[in-house]
């Protein structure tokens, strides 16, 4: 813990991964663990971790990368945080992210972007950029991120760490500040596949209060498999008997050579380990980005209505014209939300408005269903599908920030999975030949079959 805190202190002025460091409590808890001695019942005994700043941790500020939540300190733990704590983890602090997890580069954070540790002129990816940076730079041994449309997998790819987006419903969203409620999932980011499996195992599973009422009604009442044992066993196994599908839309034109070469090498390794490689198709991929942005913005506009300057965080002062209730809302929201968040609230409100609902939101919901069917058809006869997490490696800071549409299009290979509700994993497989930046391979599996992800990823590591 002390070593992590030292690294954070030395690196954070440049990398900006941590928005809040809880050094005092972290050391106090780590010392208490030392005094008590190792506890084999606690899978994460003394492991220093950190959490994306959209997850509530009791007594730590939670900003969601936004000015509007300045001064908000939750009085309770998100379920996933509570479970890490119960497993003996030490919390170092809260990690930078795009504002309310809206972005692909960490640049929409009101507190400045985290920087990619492999090249500090480049973005770490987003929105869980701080989580990826902290893990890649050795500031913590693992982190939690959240993934609404790729926010765990894409920064994992950009920073060279492992990230898992669990099946929708695998992990409780209780205490996760909602962005797109039907898409959001918290998940682990770690240095190795086995570490990610261990973290996921701790945070996954049904979530009920005393008395049996669900804390997150979409959290599935399913048992959690022993993924750590799976990774352990996979170390000595090859991939014989497993089939990996390559969706042609994920391997065609538009993928940078930088990304293609390491990915192709990884597929060759899988083949040499005995995997059967099969060509498959996800023909509706071209509709994924527009469908995703309609659903995500619609849900965001509704979820963000609660930030009104009254209930949480920062309230605009009367001096700024906030002297009636409506003006208070307007001033607080205008000052508190950044440009990207305001754009999404406007567009989301528009697609939900009377007269446009059928044309946009209902249509998107229908296409979403079709996208899921696409995946299920492609996964029929395959254990996993494999492709890139992003068409390019980490780009330069500032490069896309003024072109939101172009930035949205970069999400082409991650957003479908959230629309379909399926699990995915991204693992580092090499470096881009021209940029020298890390490149990740993304795996997709059937609903609640995270086991297949670990089964394939562990021997490939
Ligand atoms: N880049 C996507 C967006 O901006 C995904 C973000 C996420 O997964 N939280 O919505």
pLDDT of residue 319: 84
C-alpha of residue 263 to centroid of ligand 1, in Å:
23
Tell whether ligand 1 has an atom less than 6 A from the beta carbon of residue 147: yes
Which neighbouring-strand residues pair with 276? 243
Tell whether ligand 1 has an atom less than 6 A from the beta carbon of residue 296: yes
Tell whether ligand 1 has an atom less than 6 A from the beta carbon of residue 150: yes
Backbone angles phi, psi at 277, to 5 degrees: -105, 130
C-alpha of residue 38 to centroid of ligand 1, in Å:
39
Q: ipTM above 0.95?
A: yes
Helix, strand, coil shares of the chain as percentages rounded to 5?
40, 15, 45
> Are the C-beta atoms of 139 and 18 separated by less than 8 Å?
yes
Q: What is the distance between the alpha carbons of residues 127 and 414, in angstroms, rounded to a whole number?
A: 12
Q: What is the number of the ligand 1 atom nearest to the C-alpha of 146? A: 9
C-alpha of residue 19 to centroid of ligand 1, in Å:
19
Out of 108, 127, 155, 341, give the residue to mutate to test ligand 1, the one with the largest number of ligand atoms within 8 Å of its CB. Answer: 127
Q: Identify which of 93, 52, 87 has the alpha carbon closest to the alpha carbon of residue 176.
A: 52
pTM of the model: 0.98
> Are the C-beta atoms of 197 and 230 separated by less than 8 Å?
yes
52 is catalytic: yes
Tell whether ligand 1 has an atom less than 6 A from the beta carbon of residue 418: no
List the pLDDT tens digit at each of the 461 positions of the chain.
999 999 999 999 999 999 999 999 999 999 999 999 999 999 999 999 999 999 999 999 999 999 999 999 999 999 999 999 999 999 999 999 999 999 999 999 999 999 999 999 999 999 999 999 999 999 999 999 999 999 999 999 999 999 999 999 999 999 999 999 999 999 999 999 999 999 999 999 999 988 888 999 999 999 999 999 999 998 889 999 999 999 999 999 889 999 999 999 999 999 999 999 999 999 999 999 999 999 999 999 999 999 999 988 899 988 888 889 999 999 999 999 999 999 999 999 999 999 999 999 999 999 999 999 999 999 999 999 999 999 999 999 999 999 999 999 999 999 999 999 999 999 999 999 999 999 999 999 999 999 999 999 999 99
Tell whether ligand 1 has an atom less than 6 A from the beta carbon of residue 11: no
Tell whether ligand 1 has an atom less than 6 A from the beta carbon of residue 108: no
The pair of structure tokens assigned to 70 is: 């300045």
b/e per residue, 89-125, with b = 16+ CB within 10 A?
bbbbbbbbbbbbbbbbbbbbbbbebbbbbbeeebbbb
C-alpha of residue 289 to centroid of ligand 1, in Å:
11
CB atoms within 10 A of CB 160: 23
302 DSSP 8-state letter: H
> Are the C-beta atoms of 343 and 365 separated by less than 8 Å?
no
Angle, CA of 118, 408 and 116, to the nearest 5°: 10
Reading phi first (left if > 0) and then psi (alpha if -120 to 50, else beta), residue 149 is in alpha
C-alpha of residue 43 to centroid of ligand 1, in Å:
31
C-alpha of residue 126 to centroid of ligand 1, in Å:
7
**159 class by beta-carbon count within 10 Å (0-12 exposed, 13-18 middle, 19+ buried):** buried
> What strands lie across the sheet with 384-388, from one edge to the other?
18-21, 90-95, 48-52, 142-147, 185-190, 162-165, 424-431, 438-444, 384-388, 243-247, 276-280
Which domains, from first to last, does the chain contain?
2-237+394-460 (3.90.1300.10)
> What is the C-alpha R_g of the chain?
21
Catalytic residue among 127, 128, 131, 228: 127
pLDDT of residue 209: 86
Q: What is the number of the ligand 1 atom nearest to the C-alpha of 104? A: 1
Q: What is the distance between the alpha carbons of residues 171 and 289, in angstroms, rounded to a whole number?
A: 25
278 is catalytic: no
> Are the C-beta atoms of 93 and 111 separated by less than 8 Å?
no
> Are the C-beta atoms of 181 and 173 separated by less than 8 Å?
yes
Q: What is the number of the ligand 1 atom nearest to the C-alpha of 296? A: 10
**36 class by beta-carbon count within 10 Å (0-12 exposed, 13-18 middle, 19+ buried):** exposed
Q: Beta strand 243-247 with 276-280: parallel, antiparallel or unpaired?
A: parallel
The pair of structure tokens assigned to 2 is: 């002390």
Out of 104, 106, 187, 299, give the residue to mutate to test ligand 1, the one with the largest number of ligand atoms within 8 Å of its CB. Answer: 104
Backbone angles phi, psi at 367, to 5 degrees: -65, -35
127 is catalytic: yes
Identify each DSSP E strand in 276-383 by its residue range. Answer: 276-280
Q: What is the distance between the alpha carbons of residues 27 and 22, in angstroms, rounded to a whole number?
A: 9
Q: Identify which of 278, 332, 279, 283 has the alpha carbon closest to the alpha carbon of residue 305.
A: 332
pLDDT of residue 323: 85
Residues in the chain: 461
């Amino acid at each position: 813990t002390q070593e992590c805190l030292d690294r954070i202190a030395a690196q954070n002025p440049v990398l900006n991964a941590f928005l809040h460091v809880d050094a005092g409590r972290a050391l106090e808890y780590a010392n208490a663990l030392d005094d008590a001695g190792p506890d084999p019942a606690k899978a994460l005994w003394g492991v220093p971790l950190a959490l994306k700043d959209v997850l509530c941790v009791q007594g730590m500020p939670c900003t969601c990368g936004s000015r509007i939540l300045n001064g908000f300190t939750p009085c309770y733990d998100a379920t996933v945080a509570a479970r890490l704590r119960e497993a003996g983890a030490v919390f170092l602090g809260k990690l930078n992210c795009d504002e309310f997890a809206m972005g692909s580069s960490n640049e929409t954070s009101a507190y400045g972007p985290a920087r990619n540790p492999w090249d500090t002129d480049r973005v770490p990816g987003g929105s869980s950029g701080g989580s990826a940076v902290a893990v890649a730079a050795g500031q913590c041994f693992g982190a939690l991120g959240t993934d609404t449309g790729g926010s765990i997998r894409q920064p994992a790819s950009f920073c060279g760490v492992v990230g898992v987006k669990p099946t929708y419903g695998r992990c409780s969203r209780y205490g996760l500040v909602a962005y797109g409620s039907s898409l959001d999932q918290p998940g682990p980011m770690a240095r190795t596949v086995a570490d990610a499996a261990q973290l996921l195992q701790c945070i996954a599973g049904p979530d009920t209060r005393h008395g049996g009422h669900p804390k997150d009604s979409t959290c599935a009442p399913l048992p959690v498999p022993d993924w750590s044992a799976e990774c352990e066993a996979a170390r000595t196994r090859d991939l014989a008997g497993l089939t990996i599908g390559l969706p042609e839309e994920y391997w065609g034109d538009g993928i940078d050579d930088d990304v293609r070469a390491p990915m192709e090498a990884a597929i060759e390794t899988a083949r040499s380990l005995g995997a059967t490689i099969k060509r498959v198709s996800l023909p509706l991929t071209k509709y994924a980005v527009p469908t995703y942005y309609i659903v995500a913005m619609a849900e965001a506009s509704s979820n963000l209505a609660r930030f009104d300057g009254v209930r949480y965080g920062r309230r605009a002062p009367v001096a700024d014209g906030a002297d009636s209730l409506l003006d208070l809302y307007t001033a607080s929201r205008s000052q508190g939300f950044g440009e990207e968040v305001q754009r999404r609230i406007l567009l989301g409100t528009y697609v939900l408005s009377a007269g446009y609902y059928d044309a946009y939101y209902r249509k998107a919901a229908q296409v979403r269903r079709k996208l899921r069917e696409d995946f299920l058809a492609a996964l029929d006869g395959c254990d996993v599908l494999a492709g890139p997490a992003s068409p390019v490696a980490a780009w330069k800071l500032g490069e896309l920030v003024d072109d939101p549409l172009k930035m949205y299009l970069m999400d082409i290979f991650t957003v479908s999975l959230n629309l379909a509700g399926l699990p995915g994993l991204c693992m580092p497989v090499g470096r881009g030949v021209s940029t020298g930046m890390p490149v990740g391979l993304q795996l997709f599996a059937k609903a609640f079959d995270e086991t297949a992800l670990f089964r394939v990823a562990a021997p490939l590591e």
